[in-house]
Structure 1
Amino acid sequence: MTRDWHFGPTRLKDGRVRFRLWAPEAAAPGLAVRLELLGMGPLAMTALEDGWYEVITPACPEARYWFRLGDGTTLPDPASRAQAGDVHSPSVVVDPQRYTWRHPGWRGRPWHEAVVYELHVGILGGFSAAAAQLPRLARLGITAVELMPVAEFPGARNWGYDGVLPFAPECSYGPPDALRALIDTAHGLGMMVLLDVVYNHFGPEGNVWPRLASCFFRADRPTPWGPAIDFRQPEVRRFFTENVLYWLEAFHLDGLRFDAVHAMEDAGWLHEVAKAVHEGPGRERHIHLIAENDNNDATLLRDGFTAQWNDDFHHALHVLLTGETHGYYGDYAGASGGMHPPIAHLARALAEGFAYQGEASAYRGVLRGTLSTGLPPTSFVSFLQNHDQIGNRAHGERLLQLADPRALRCAVALHCLAPQIPLLFMGEESGSKAPFRYFTDHPPALAEAVRAGRQREFAGMAGFADDAAADGAHATLPDPNAPDTFAAACPVFDDNDWATWYTRLLALRHTQLVPRLAGARTGTATVLSDLALQVSWPLGDGSTLSLWLNLGGEALAVTPVNEPGTLLFASQEPAYPALCDGRLDGYTLLACLRDAATVDTTHPLTGVRA
């Protein structure tokens, strides 16, 4: 689909290219805004209404260009489709129609089929190297790859949340067509590709909007990353709406994950853009919009968004597995500050979506959340680990370094077999211990400011703080700007017991649960002990999925279960007959289906029919 874009270069039917720039503060008295194409003389741009400038000229694909403002300043296109080098380099004219798609008939997958794998393209070596991992992920049982942000950021190493040119794929990862090839390869393997996008702030280096249009930002609304973006402005809304549609249409992406929407005062834009997506590319194929929203606000889920990351699931389970109760974990720690014990928070998150649905958050000092009952379980993305929960630790430890492996195996089984949409973080599937720390590639002054800021942030945080030196002083945090910090984050993808565990669980999910998930409804949960629970959900085919979880090492006396249903999975033997006798063994996850006439009752680990 070819659109008449307002932002960025558009190739016209006669072969020429129209360049546009919204820059209400760019001109100086008597001086024009000019387009400069490498190898050609400067071209004066025609001033239009509302701060727009335009010029139409012949331009070959791969032509370099930039804009020269009235005071002589040169800047890249804020809607650049590609950069010749980094954020300060010339922009590049690209032809999105040049790539020949190998799977043009791909129409995506329904959301209930999703098993999501979050990865960082740079850690894997760029777009082509990441594409080489896709066959392995398909064999594992992954059906959706979620790329951490790839919009152009300063330097060659970054998590991606410091992006400043949101239409341009990061040049150090490869050209735009290499990203298209990655997506095309995934589609050929039956996998969706989702992209993490950042609309709540720009990075600290290379943002051109303050020079072009100060009204792009709100002076009265700060965010942790600088002034808030002003979504009250029509052109700001148009810029980001076009960005959403550009990623979905020009790259055939299957969906977007919206970063930290709780940090946006979006003036209704999120609802508008969901409508634009569903009336646009969403009319022809499955498109999924996923929100990260720390406010636990379910409003978007009832108005166009497919799903939302569920921190409550993670936080409650993390407290149970690790015993950590610092920071926001205190809200889930019972006597340590939360209103209920962590197992109760986990039980509610599993059954109803959010654990906090309007209750007081001691950590935040406000009422948190809205009602989530009535939403299908697939509206919630659950995770044991993700880039934030690993990378925002001082040392980037992964969960296997913090939890008892026996309890963790049960938690993994819960994660894979509950009806919520599971998300795995790169390396988790093979038990990687590679530390995923925060990393950057900033100029020296900015790098020092980030380094000092991180040191201040963690110095007083119990649990996240550094190991104390012998003299009581804190050791130095890993330097975010050091190349070694980046290099150490690359996991080794071993074919080991963890990989086998995940593969078996995901195979069971796809064969026995996914066909029943469409139409699944809110569940019910019972707390059995401080480390154990039982939860059940009515599924779309009329059957009921029930899980029993015991994260402790001691067996637990429970009410005998006379008809638990057909056994789907037992993390160890002889847990299933023990449950019928009134005992839930330690370190156990049991999954059963009731009234499911067509289920294959072969035990996935032993091969014995129940």
Structure 2
Amino acid sequence: MAEHSMPFGAEITGDGVRFRLWAPDAQEVTLILEGQAHEMPLRDNGWREAVVPEAQAGDAYQYKIGQDLLVPDPASRAQKKDVHGPSLVVDPIAHSWQNQDWRGLPFEETVAVEVHVGAATPEGTFDGLRRKLDHYKELGVTAIELLPVADFAGQRNWGYDGVLPFAPDSAYGRPEDLKRLIDDAHGLGLQVFIDVVYNHFGPDGNYLHAYAERFFDAEKQTPWGAALNFSERPVRDFFISNAVYWLNEYRFDGIRFDAVHAIEDMAGTEGEAHFLEEMARVIRSAIEPDRHVHLILENDDNRSELLAREGGAPRHYDAQWNDDFHHVVHRMVTGETDGYYDDYDRAAERLARVLSEGFAYQGEASPHRDGAHRGTPSADLPPQAFVSFIQNHDQVGNRALGDRISAAAPREAVEAATALYLLCPQIPMIWMGEEWAATSTFPFFCDFSGDLADAVREGRRREFSRFERFADPAARELIPDPNAEDTFLAAKLDWQEIGRHVHQDRLDLFRHLIALRKEYVVPLLKSGRPQVEAAHEGGGVTVRYDFGGRVLSFAVNLTAEPVPLGDALRGEVLFSTHEASPGEMPAWSLTATLS
């Protein structure tokens, strides 16, 4: 399938191009197509529609609300320039797919790398990233996960300020460039996932308030403003359609849903299912049955029921980013306790629980959240219901200076933590450049102007005022200005680093660990669900995964002191950071065995 039919926006039909807009609060809506005005009669429930026989792909159009407000199509498939200007009619089947037989990969084979298109290459484009696909193939990863590409205001942004969810940002290229990237990735056996944001719109370029105030629920607030109103059927359909669009029209292999804990959904006005449950059901029914398509959550609420299995298959979502894994490991290797790291005292105990049951918080009170209870029991979920990492865009970029873990932890500690997440049965995700210990930072960046730019800059610095390191106003002045171009340029990967000794050593380590995972761990995951036992003593953790007779075991010490080693390790050593020491685990060490 290469085309997604949707009730929104501009769609090429046998009668020309149909333009459709939900504008329940607009008294008058006019289509302005290539400078010509066309009436958009009112249909049921606030819908406006016009069919223009002479319209064609490439035509520019806007909607005029009332007498003078020109707005883009909220379901624009592409913009002529930026989010404030005209939308473009796009022919969704113009791309000639070269790898039409591609059906994706089973989720247990996934080793993902998270990538920001603008910062990943010197060009900062879809084509620039396409030319780096051979690197990722040689690294051994099986999935490239793109930060959001939905059109945002300006020329640079993390992607979480998008306002046109169906339009790839023109700073990265045109729709056909993104399709070519995905097509070539499939030709190399690589999956491509996309990150989407269904919890808010960005602060610049969102015109929905002018003609569809019912898109929002002012009674419920998110960190980014009024919540989206998922009790309205058109709002639900808009975002569900967006997800199916990316999977079918662009042939993405999976979606990561940003911060779903901030989706203030009720069950709808007529007893509908929770939005997240309905979305998963509709997506899975819309996908060809022989395709492997993976749905991944970011959910600070740790709602394990969204990850439940039926007959071994996900009922709703395949997996969740496991922040608990990151937070406890980060605290152990860096010693940092600010912010949410305060929740991860008794670190070895919590790491043992993460490795054996998934979530560290399964209903317990969170000190960082003022005692609020967080999470539901997760021990009945398989390991591949959790995505583990020691870095990602948030965990690097939400640091005041955007510095990577290598700047905060000893090299030996980072390498032991790396071996843990790449070899343990949970699904691993690498942050771009991590594979060669890149020195580039990833500070928060955007491209706003005027009062909004000032508010973002000062808000960013105010956010860190509660951290001891930035209590002094002079220290906060060192936090990069998000709107400065230099802040964005600091995030650009330097690919020439790979040829230097220390970076090549780290790259060799990643290639070796990923190859071990493919040869030994993935077949175990395919064989069934393991029985897991975990223990901790001092700062050390041991864990055994019994896959019906074949046992994968780990002994890990993410502290600066040796700790006792019990009798958990048996069999052939798959990998060790150190020479075996009977009876103890050295500082910053890991040993993995298979019996």
Q: Normalising to structure 1: TM-score of the pair?
A: 0.91
Partners in 2 of 1:583 and 1:456 — Cα distance? 45
Alpha-carbon distance in structure 2 between the residues aligned to 1:521 and 1:295: 25
Does the 8 A contact of 2:464 with 2:476 survive in 1?
A: no
**1:52 — aligned with what?**
47
- Shift in Å, 1:466: 7.2
Equivalence for 1:439: 445
2:4–2:244 contact (8 Å) kept in structure 1: no
Question: In structure 1, what is the equivalent of residue 339 of structure 2?
Answer: 327
Q: Verify the 8 A CA contact 1:307 1:378 in the aligned structure 2.
A: yes
1:360 alignment partner, one of 365, 370, 377 = 365
Question: Match for residue 312 of structure 1?
Answer: 324
2:196 touches 2:258 (CA, 8 Å); kept in 1? yes
2:546 corresponds to 1:545: no
- Give the fraction of aligned pairs with identical amino acids, expressed as a percent: 47
Residue in structure 2 matched with residue 164 of structure 1 by the alignment: 163
> What is the distance in 1 between the residues matched to 2:244 and 2:381?
27
Q: Residue 571 of structure 2 corresponds to which residue in structure 1?
A: 565
Amino acid paired to 1:112: E
**Larger mean Cα displacement after TM superposition, 202-211 or 517-526:** 517-526
**Contact preservation (8 Å) 2:555, 2:565:** no
Do the aligned residues in 2 keep the contact of 1:315 with 1:329 (CA within 8 Å)? yes
Deviation at 1:141, TM superposition (A): 1.0
8 Å CA contact 1:347, 1:533 repeated in 2: yes
Amino acid at match of 1:501: L
Q: 2:537, 2:564 within 8 Å by CA — same for their partners in 1?
A: no
How far apart, CA to CA, are the structure 2 residues paired with 1:520 and 1:421? 14
Give matches, 1:359-508, under 5 Å: 359-364=364-369, 365-463=371-469, 465=470, 469=474, 474-493=476-495, 494-495=498-499, 496-508=504-516
Task: Tell me the SS of whatever aligns to 2:458.
Answer: helix
For 1:286, the equivalent position in structure 2 comes to 292
Q: Which amino acid aligns with 2:356?
A: A
Inter-CA distance 284–54: structure 2 relative to 1 (3 Å threshold): farther
> Which digits, 9 at most, give the CA deviation of each residue in 1:450-472, with x for residues without a partner?
11111211122225x27775xxx
CA contact (8 A) 1:374 1:522 kept: no
TM-score, normalised by the number of residues in structure 2? 0.93
2:74 corresponds to 1:78: yes
Q: Are 1:513 and 2:518 matched, yes or no?
A: no
- Deviation digits for residues 387-444 of structure 1, max 9, x if unmatched? 1111011101100000011111111111110000011101111101211000010122
Offset of residue 70 of structure 1: 2.3
1:22 maps to what in 2?
Answer: 22
CA contact (8 A) 2:448 2:483 kept: yes
Q: In terms of mean alpha carbon deviation, does 513-522 or 68-77 score higher?
A: 513-522
Q: What amino acid is the match of 1:380?
A: F
SS at match of 1:343: helix
Query: What is the DSSP-based 3-state SS (H/G/I as helix, E as strand, rest coil) of the residue aligned with 1:459?
Result: coil
CA distance in 2, matches of 1:3, 1:186: 21
C-alpha contact (below 8 Å) 1:375/1:522 kept by paired residues? no
Alignment partner, residue 276 of structure 2: 270
Q: CA deviation at 1:488?
A: 0.7
Deviation, 1:79, is 0.4
> Is structure 2 residue 536 aligned with structure 1 residue 527?
yes
Q: Which amino acid aligns with 1:63?
A: D
What is the CA deviation profile of residues 458-511 of structure 1, one whole-angstrom value per residue up to 9, with x for unaligned ones? Answer: 122225x27775xxx643421100000000111223141110110100011011
Partner deviation per Cα, 1:329-388 (whole Å, 9 max, x = no partner): 00102xxxxxxx111111110110000101111111211110001100010000100011
Distance of 1:158 and 1:358 partners within structure 2: 35
| Structure 1 residues 152-211: Cα deviation after superposition (integer angstroms, max 9, x where no partner) | 000011000000000000011000010001111111111111100000000000101111
Q: Which amino acid aligns with 1:345?
A: R
8 Å contact kept, 2:461–2:476: no
Q: Deviations over 1:248-270 (max 9, x none)?
A: 11100001000000001223111
**Correspondences of 1:148-297 after superposition (within 5 Å):** 148-267=147-266, 268-297=274-303
Which of 90, 96, 101 is the aligned partner of 1:100? 96
State how many pairs are aligned: 569
Q: 1:86 to 1:474 in 2, by over 3 A?
A: closer
Looking at structure 2, the residues matched to 410 and 3 of structure 1 have their Cα atoms a distance apart, in angstroms, of 45
Supply the AA of the counterpart residue of 2:351.
Answer: L
Q: What amino acid maps onto 2:550 in structure 1?
A: S
Q: Secondary structure at the match of 2:9?
A: coil
The CA RMSD measured in Å over matched residues stands at: 1.5
Q: Give the Cα–Cα distance (whole angstroms) in 2 for the partners of residues 54 and 402 of structure 1.
A: 56
| Contact in 2 for aligned 1:373/1:522 (Cα 8 Å) | no
User: What letter corresponds to residue 49 of structure 2 in structure 1?
Assistant: E
TM-fit CA distance, 1:212? 1.5
For 2:542 and 2:578, the matched residues in 1 are separated by 17
8 A contact 2:576–2:590 mirrored in 1? yes
Amino acid at match of 2:38: L
Does structure 1 retain, via aligned residues, the 8 Å contact 2:29–2:66? yes
- Partners of 1:56 and 1:320 lie apart in 2 by 61
Name 2:312's counterpart in structure 1.
none
SS of structure 1 residue aligned to 2:391: coil
Bigger Cα displacement from structure 2, 489-498 vs 153-162: 489-498
Contact 1:520-1:537 within 8 A present in 2 as well = no
Structure 2 partner of 1:605? none
Distance 1:131 1:172 in 2: 15
The residue that corresponds to 1:588 in the other structure is 589
Aligned mates of 1:379, 1:21 — CA distance in 2:
38
Runs of 5+ unmatched residues, structure 2: 267-273, 309-314
> 2: CA distance between counterparts of 1:558 and 1:231?
52
Please say if residues 333 and 559 of structure 2, whose CA atoms lie closer than 8 Å, have aligned partners that are also in contact.
no
Give the aligned residue type for 2:177: A
Tell me if the contact between 1:560 and 1:583 (Cα under 8 Å) persists in the aligned partners: no
- Give, in whole Å, the separation in 2 of the partners of 1:63 and 1:466: 53
Distance 2:545 2:405 in 1: 28
Q: CA deviation at 1:3?
A: 4.2
SS of 1:9's equivalent? strand
1:347 aligns with 2:319: no
Paired residues of 1:114 and 1:421 also in contact (CA < 8 A): yes
